[in-house]
Structure 1
Amino acid sequence: MTTTSGLAIVTGASSGIGAELARQLSARGQPVLAIGRRGHRLEELSARARSAGHAAVHPLELDVTAEGAALHVRDRARALGGAAWLVNNAGTTHLGPFLDGDPAALTRLVRLNCESVVALCAAVVPDLVARGGGRVLNVASLAAFQPTPGHAVYGATKAFVLSLSESLAVELDGTGVTVTALCPGPVTTEIFDAGAPGVPRKKPSFEMSAEDCAAYGIAAADRGAAVVVPTLVSKATAQLSRVLPRAALRRLSGRIGLSIIGYESTPRRARG
């Protein structure tokens, strides 16, 4: 079995990295189950694949945090011939002080970035094992490697995704199923508008395009790599996080704040 055969499930496929992952997998001949909340964008993705003569992109408008969503995805994939790839890309962020965040929104962030990944892996990975092989690609972040004051919950969720992915990679060794955690630095997508609407931002020099990030992730999953970090700057940052003492890492992260992704330092709330 080649890694380019079989259906690829891609969440968060209506924009950004997810849309590029779906497009590139389809272009190389893999049918895609493209999942997202904006159905019209998924339909456009599907139409573009048809017009280009690529493998089919099957749109599925779905909130992956909804009750029973993971089982619905599994059953739809089975109806389409069975999954060979699971790409957990759906995610969001909150940029700004933790105490300024809406508690309900922060809880939804954890549900999307963490709980949906667990639910989808639990629902779909057994089918990959039964099939005799497959690929799981979980989109984490450079934020997974260190504390992230200014987007504390986002960083914590991506640390969760990284840890889960590495653990599953070990547990699934010998099954033919590989698990890859993709940990990019900043990528040009809509996530910044969602995380800090209307806040000016200067794109860092090492920011990737969604197209390049998706290609990097697909190539890494094809190789069966466990953890991959694109760009030299991001690799160096991740490595620094591994060697610095935690106390020093906290101080450094506090000084850098959100400036590493193009924002001014995180403002602090006045306390009475």
Structure 2
Amino acid sequence: MTTTSGIAIVTGASSGIGAEIARQLSARGQPVLAIGRRAHRLEELSARARAASHAPIHPLELDVTAEGAGVLVRDRARELGGAAWLVNNAGTTRFGPFLEGDPAEQAMLVRLNCESVVALCAAIVPDLVTRGGGRVLNVASLAAFQPTPGHAVYGATKAFVLSFSESLAVELDRTGVTVTALCPGPVTTEIFDAGAPGVPRKKPPFEISAEECAAYGIAAADRGDVVAVPTALSKATAQLSRVLPRAVIRRLSARIGLSILGYGGLPRGARG
């Protein structure tokens, strides 16, 4: 089902998956409220939509971890006709051993990757229920399915997003509001530069583009899928956590987890 009435709220829309989701929804006629911290990127996204005669993309420069951000987003969405989609995509990572990281940065990861998702859902989902339907698309990660030594906090935050999304999907059954957790493996975005700046990385052959990931996530949300994992290899990897003992999964993650992302070894001391 294509929802064209109402606005699609997309966080982290300055680049990567978020920008692609905003662009693709706009291209199919869905007005978008694009949220991010880089105003010039959002303005460029909006200008491209206008030039292509697509549905409008309304930029909103905002840090979603700021106090009251959820209410600000809700009120702006109401001004634009009310929310029909909520896409919680804003997120980042930090690579390196936990004890070598900056505690303030680790706490920021939790605020951005977890707390902002909860706050925005609390602010927006009641409006979706009131209108009788809508889509919630929370961008998690393949990292949600197993421990992630080398980026421990990131993996834990994405496990939170997956669990929260599945629970919310059940609670919203029969309201017309669907909840989808998008759990991609490696995606070509700026997150790797942010997570380990200056650390050499070789792009793995199974890495997908932000465009592919966005299209997969939108289609999954349209179908009402609760958990969406792009690519056969990622699906198989996710299933391993269901059939192998936790001790085995921990050892495998420690040995090959960062290699799958294109790093030859643990980027010690890497900080964003």
Alignment of 1:43-192 (within 5 A): 43-192=43-192
Task: For residues 147-168 of structure 1, give each alpha carbon's deviation from its aligned partner in whole angstroms, at most 9, with x where no partner exists.
Answer: 0001100000000000000000
The whole-number CA distance in structure 2 between the counterparts of 1:268 and 1:66 is 30
> What SS does structure 2 have at the residue aligned with 1:9?
strand
What pairs with 1:182-261 in structure 2 (closer than 5 Å)?
182-261=182-261
Q: Distance in 2 between matches of 1:4 and 1:242?
A: 37
Q: Secondary structure at the match of 2:85?
A: strand
For the 8 Å contact 1:12–1:90, the answer to whether it is kept is yes
Which moves more between the two structures, 48-57 or 241-250?
241-250
Q: Structure 1 stretches (4+) deviating beyond 6 angstroms?
A: none
Q: Deviations over 1:203-250 (max 9, x none)?
A: 111101000000000000000000010011101100111111111111
Q: Is the 8 A contact 1:139 1:182 kept in 2?
A: yes
Secondary structure at the counterpart of residue 135 of structure 2 = strand
Aligned to 1:10: 10
Q: How many angstroms does 1:251 deviate by?
A: 1.1
Query: Which amino acid in structure 1 is aligned with residue 20 of structure 2?
Result: E
Displacement of 1:256? 1.1
Provide the TM-score with structure 2 as the length reference: 0.97
Residue 37 (structure 1) aligns with: 37
Q: CA deviation at 1:100?
A: 1.2
Contact 2:196 2:267 in 1 (8 A): no
Secondary structure at the counterpart of residue 129 of structure 1:
helix
- Secondary structure of 2:230's partner? coil
Check conservation: 2:4, 2:31, Cα contact below 8 A. Answer: no
Equivalent-residue separation in structure 2 for 1:177 and 1:268 (angstroms): 43
Q: Secondary structure at the match of 2:197?
A: coil
Task: Tell me the distance in 1 between the aligned counterparts of 2:238 and 2:148.
Answer: 13
Letter in 1 for 2:84: A
Checking the alignment, whether the CA contact within 8 Å between 1:94 and 1:196 is kept in structure 2 is yes
Q: Kindly state the Cα deviation for residue 2 of structure 1 after the two structures are TM-superposed.
A: 4.8
Amino acid aligned to 2:162? L
Distance in 2, Cα, partners of 1:267 & 1:114 = 24
Q: What is the total number of aligned residue pairs between the two structures?
A: 269
Secondary structure of the residue that 2:58 maps to in structure 1? strand
The Cα of 1:5 is off from its aligned counterpart by 2.9
**Superposition deviation, residue 17 in structure 1:** 0.3
Counterpart code for 1:90: A
- Give the partner amino acid of 1:66: A
Q: Is the 8 A contact 2:8 2:87 kept in 1?
A: yes
Unaligned runs of 5+ in 1: none
Q: Is 1:25 matched up with 2:25? A: yes
CA contact (8 A) 2:142 2:184 kept: yes
Whether the 8 Å contact between 1:257 and 1:266 is mirrored in structure 2 is no
Gap runs ≥5 in structure 2: none
Report the residue type matching 1:18 in the other structure.
Answer: G
CA root-mean-square deviation: 1.1
Find the counterpart in structure 2 of residue 266 from structure 1.
266
Deviation at 1:99, TM superposition (A): 1.0
Partner Cα distance (1:267, 1:49) in 2: 39
1:1-36 deviation line (CA, Å, top 9, x unaligned): 852332100000000000000000000000000000
Give me the TM-score of the superposition, normalised by structure 1: 0.97
